[in-house]
Amino acid sequence: MNCYRLSIYVLLLGFLFNACKQPKKKELKVNALFSDHMVLQQNDKVAFWGTYSPNQKIKVKGSWGKESTSAADSKGRWKLTLDTPKAGGPYEVNISSENNSLTIKDVLIGEVWLASGQSNMEMDFDYCCNTTDFSEFELSTANYPKIRMINVEKQLNSTPLKQFKGTWEKAISDNITPFSAAGYFFAKRLHKELNVPIGIIHASWGGTDIEAWTSREQLNTLDFLNDIMDNYDKLIKNYSKTKSWFSQFESTKSPSDVWYLFLEDPQGVPKKWESFDFKDERNIHSSNINFEKWRKIKIPGSIDNIFETNDFDGAILIRKSFYIDEIKGDYSLSLGPTSDMDFTFINGKKIGNSMGKISAKTKIYKIPKDILKIGENNIVIRIVNQYKEGKVGAVSVINSENTEIDLTGYWDYSVSAEAYAALDSYSWPYIDFYFYNETTNYSKRPEITNYNKDSKSSLFNGMISPLIPYTIKGAIWYQGENNVPRFKEYERLFPALINDWRNQWSLDFPFYFVQIAPFENYNGLSSSLRDAQRKTLKIPKTGMVVTLDIGENNDIHPSNKHDVGSRLAGLALSNDYEKSIIASGPLFRKQVINGNKLTLEFDYVGSGLMSYKKVLDEFEIAGADKKYVPATAKIVGKTIELYSDEVFEPKFSRYAWRDISNATLFNKEGLPASSFTTE
């Protein structure tokens, strides 16, 4: 054989070898929901989905005798439905292809619900100190292997995700520690009364807006969001630049949410800030600092615009010198309103610090004589701002002989750290401080763009999208606190979310929610948000739990989650499981004007109206001028009669219209009436 023929022969063999090679098979993958101990919806066609090699067949078989087949599409995505029997188990589910197989064990068939919202749904048994079933009691006695919960690990994203991290856990003993307490008590009542397995998919994140839980497509339909949604793609592009900027710096998690400093009792939070290392001590205590490299800032003034983009939150040092010819009398420093906190040093020695509400006032710090010097003295003030506008008040040094050294004007300043959302880390308080130094090139700092847990659609993309289309019975929801200042928009946002989720699942499932509880720090707006929630009941297959009787005026996180979960379960039992119970408190239906009196009619009166107090208060009445005064209220049959000697021609009424209103009206089944206004 000559060389030419040999070459042709080798080429042909190579061609045949490559032609016979099989394309490499991809690994068979499924969503985290499809894992050991999962619960599937009974008597339904439940969805299964995942990825595999393009155009390859997939078979899903349940040990109860049903199976279903499908094929992956050109991108390797597959989806099918499998018939489920009535409640029972444990079973196994086998998912197989030509070359791959995985088996899901200990599968129960029962009722599956999605639990979502912000912190009051997120509260687990590490935090919850329940007033009905104390955490310690529940942790020690829980023995419900047929109640399972999967926590969707926190994640946010600018586009819808398909995967999440989480595992199904049984409700046995301290396994329930990370469970949503409200979700657990909801499941517990359903399980006991229905005697079937209950699965809870829990996806919550504290301190979040409802818009974050709603899809971009749905938000695009709301005209008052047009400007924001039209610039959504630009937002994401700018966020990428911001993330790249902060990723180059060393960072440390913020000691706490700065908002806590503005409560009446910050509960030890100030100590965390006092010990926090801003990595700027050298610039405070050293006498060898070249202040010529520091920039200039006018005091009093704002620190928000130090980068000329009006977007700075973080910590800066401001520095100025003052001179004294002789030390006589007592000296003090006056520092005007400063937000959110200040740490003040003279000649490297700390003379005082203030935080939150105290920092927002004028402070007087005593200056020990032994730290003062004849001639030049150096003042350095660390300003930390993250919550409110970064203002710095006027500064002056005063002695007991009424000599004042006015220090208004230009000061030197240096940036210690910038506060921004933690990158890819989703544990409270969700903010990191990124530390700058002398070599930081601020000219490359972009205008800061935030995309975080409150950003539009961020949590729908990260935590709800991966769950779709897992077959569920319905959803329970506890959120609204974050949207209180925008209660008017909530009237449209909340129905939009409900419709959005139903459309995403292609399922008109029941949706039950919790009305926010009384709390002192809502600036008088929470009653309007509660009323927006009440109005959402006009959407079919919804129900609302009222918490006016189980709130805690000084805590936005009421500890009683037992009654919350039980009342949510009552709505499901009544509406979806054919239990003959009254599951709602009285809901205002109609007002009738009778001369100088108003008669109020209600739905869900049950066995009748009642009050646990001798006086039925929290009712107010007003004429056409809408100037409300307390009303005398009386139960008359199944109605409430109102009047006031101060209002001769009443036209409007309202009930529980304060941030810290507490329920006085109930039905005889013990469920409280919702707040309302007739305006």
Instruction: Give strand pairing partners of 647.
Output: 644
> What pLDDT does residue 23 have?
53
Are the C-beta atoms of residues 316 and 380 closer than 8 Å to each other? Answer: no
Give helix 562-576 / helix 181-194 axis angle, nearest 10°. 40
Helix or strand holding residue 364 (H, E):
strand 363-367
Whether residue 672 is preceded by a cis peptide bond, meaning omega within 30 degrees of 0, is no
Q: How many residues does the chain have?
A: 679
Do β-strands 39-41 and 431-435 pair in parallel, antiparallel, or remain unpaired? unpaired
The owner of tokens 């203030």 is: 354
pLDDT bracket for residue 129 (50, 70, 90): low
> What pLDDT does residue 3 have?
47
Burial class (CB in 10 A: 0-12, 13-18, 19+), 11: exposed
Helix or strand holding residue 138 (H, E):
helix 135-141
Class of domain 251-439: mainly beta
> What pLDDT does residue 131 have?
58
Query: DSSP state, 555?
Result: B
* CA 266 – CA 259 distance, rounded (Å): 9
Give helix 487-505 / helix 526-535 axis angle, nearest 10°. 40
State the DSSP string of 365-384: EEE-GGG--SEEEEEEEEEE
> Which 3 state secondary structure label does DSSP give 558?
coil
Are the C-beta atoms of residues 587 and 543 closer than 8 Å to each other? Answer: no
Query: Which of 548, 325, 529, 319 lies closest to 411 in space, CA to CA?
Result: 319
> Which 3 state secondary structure label does DSSP give 204?
strand
Ranges 23-27, 154-158, 408-412, 447-451: which has the least confidence: 23-27
pLDDT bracket for residue 371 (50, 70, 90): very high
> What pLDDT does residue 44 have?
98
Q: Answer whether residue 126 shows pLDDT above 90.
A: no
> Which 3 state secondary structure label does DSSP give 603?
strand
Q: Answer whether residue 8 shows pLDDT above 70.
A: no
Are the C-beta atoms of residues 529 and 548 closer than 8 Å to each other? Answer: no
* Interacting residues of 266 by C-beta distance below 8 A, sequence separation 6+: 260, 355, 356
Whether residue 300 is preceded by a cis peptide bond, meaning omega within 30 degrees of 0, is yes
Encoding tokens for residue 529? 């948000």
Sign of CA dihedral 576, 579, 584, 587: positive
* Interacting residues of 327 by C-beta distance below 8 A, sequence separation 6+: 369, 372, 374
Mean model confidence pLDDT for the chain = 93
The owner of tokens 């739990």 is: 545
> What pLDDT does residue 654 have?
98
Encoding tokens for residue 485? 């200042």
* CA 39 – CA 28 distance, rounded (Å): 21
Count CB atoms within 10 A of the CB of residue 438.
Answer: 8
- Over residues 185-209, the mean pLDDT reads 97
Encoding tokens for residue 604? 């869900």
Q: How far lies 160's CA from each of 116, 633, 652, in Å?
A: 17, 52, 46
Whether residue 90 is preceded by a cis peptide bond, meaning omega within 30 degrees of 0, is yes
Burial letters for 514-530: b for 16+ Cβ neighbours within 10 Å, e otherwise? bbbbbbbbbeeebbbbb
pLDDT bracket for residue 14 (50, 70, 90): low
Query: Which of 215, 154, 225 lies closest to 460 in space, CA to CA?
Result: 215
> What pLDDT does residue 274 have?
95
> What pLDDT does residue 513 have?
98
pLDDT bracket for residue 10 (50, 70, 90): very low
pLDDT bracket for residue 17 (50, 70, 90): very low
* Interacting residues of 437 by C-beta distance below 8 A, sequence separation 6+: none
Encoding tokens for residue 23? 């394309």
> What pLDDT does residue 464 have?
98
> What pLDDT does residue 266 have?
76
Q: Does domain 110-216+457-576 have CATH number 1.10.10.60?
A: no
pLDDT bracket for residue 2 (50, 70, 90): low
pLDDT bracket for residue 425 (50, 70, 90): confident
The phi-psi region of residue 481 (left if phi > 0; otherwise alpha if psi is between -120 and 50; otherwise beta) is: alpha
Torsion of CA 291, 296, 302, 307, to 10 degrees: -100
The alpha-helical segments, DSSP class H, found in 381-457 are none
- Name the maximum alpha-carbon separation found in the chain: 121
> What pLDDT does residue 48 have?
98
* CA 267 – CA 38 distance, rounded (Å): 40
Encoding tokens for residue 249? 């710096």
Query: DSSP state, 644?
Result: B
Torsion of CA 622, 624, 625, 631, to 10 degrees: -10
Model confidence over 527-563: pLDDT tens digits? 999 999 999 999 999 999 999 999 999 889 999 999 9
> What pLDDT does residue 291 have?
85
Instruction: Give strand pairing partners of 588.
Output: 602
Are the C-beta atoms of residues 588 and 485 closer than 8 Å to each other? Answer: no
Model confidence over 245-283: pLDDT tens digits? 999 999 999 999 898 898 877 778 899 999 999 999 999
Q: Answer whether residue 228 shows pLDDT above 50.
A: yes
Percent of residues, the chain, with pLDDT higher than 90: 86
Same CATH fold assignment for domains 29-108 and 110-216+457-576: no
Q: Answer whether residue 403 shows pLDDT above 90.
A: no
pLDDT bracket for residue 223 (50, 70, 90): very high
The alpha-helical segments, DSSP class H, found in 178-314 are 181-194, 216-219, 226-230, 232-246, 269-274, 281-285
State the DSSP string of 450-500: --STTSTTHHIIIIIGGGTT---SEEEEE--GGGGGGHHHHHHHHHHHHHH
Ranges 109-113, 423-427, 499-503: which has the least confidence: 423-427
The Cα angle at residue 140 between residues 137 and 145, in degrees rounded to 5? 120
Model confidence over 463-508: pLDDT tens digits? 999 999 999 999 999 999 999 999 999 999 999 999 999 999 999 9
> What pLDDT does residue 613 have?
84
Q: Answer whether residue 509 shows pLDDT above 80.
A: yes
Encoding tokens for residue 595? 């001369």
Architecture of domain 29-108: Sandwich (2.60)
Q: How far lies 491's CA from each of 228, 476, 534, in Å?
A: 19, 18, 9
Model confidence over 597-639: pLDDT tens digits? 999 999 999 999 999 888 899 999 999 999 999 999 999 999 9
Instruction: Give strand pairing partners of 544.
Output: 513
Helix or strand holding residue 20 (H, E):
helix 3-20
Model confidence over 349-362: pLDDT tens digits? 999 999 999 999 99
Domain ranges of the chain: 29-108, 110-216+457-576, 251-439, 587-677
* CA 405 – CA 63 distance, rounded (Å): 85
- Over residues 207-230, the mean pLDDT reads 96
> What pLDDT does residue 19 have?
45
The alpha-helical segments, DSSP class H, found in 506-645 are 526-535, 562-576
Q: Answer whether residue 11 shows pLDDT above 60.
A: no
Encoding tokens for residue 410? 């230009």
> What pLDDT does residue 98 have?
86
Ranges 143-147, 364-368, 422-426, 646-650: which has the least confidence: 422-426
Burial class (CB in 10 A: 0-12, 13-18, 19+), 7: exposed
